[in-house]
Amino acid sequence: MASDATTPGEPGGEPGEFAHLDERGQARMVDVGAKPMSERSARARARVELGAELRARFLGGRLGKGDGPAVARIAGISAAKDTARLIPLCHTIQLSSVAVEIGPGADEDGVEIIATAKARGVTGVEMEALTAASVAALAVYDMCKALRRDIRIGPIELLEKTGGVRGDWRRVDGAT
Tell me which residues are annotated as active site: 142
Nearest in space to 140 (alpha carbons), one of 44, 42, 61: 61
Q: What is the C-alpha separation between 150 and 79, in angstroms, rounded? A: 24
Contacting residues for 173 by C-beta, under 8 A, at least 6 apart: none
Is 89 within 8 Å of 7 (Cβ atoms)? no
Nearest in space to 98 (alpha carbons), one of 66, 130, 67, 69: 130
Q: In whole angstroms, how large is the CA radius of gyration of the chain?
A: 18
Is 19 within 8 Å of 10 (Cβ atoms)? yes
What 8-state DSSP symbol labels residue 91?
Answer: P
Nearest in space to 115 (alpha carbons), one of 103, 133, 131: 133
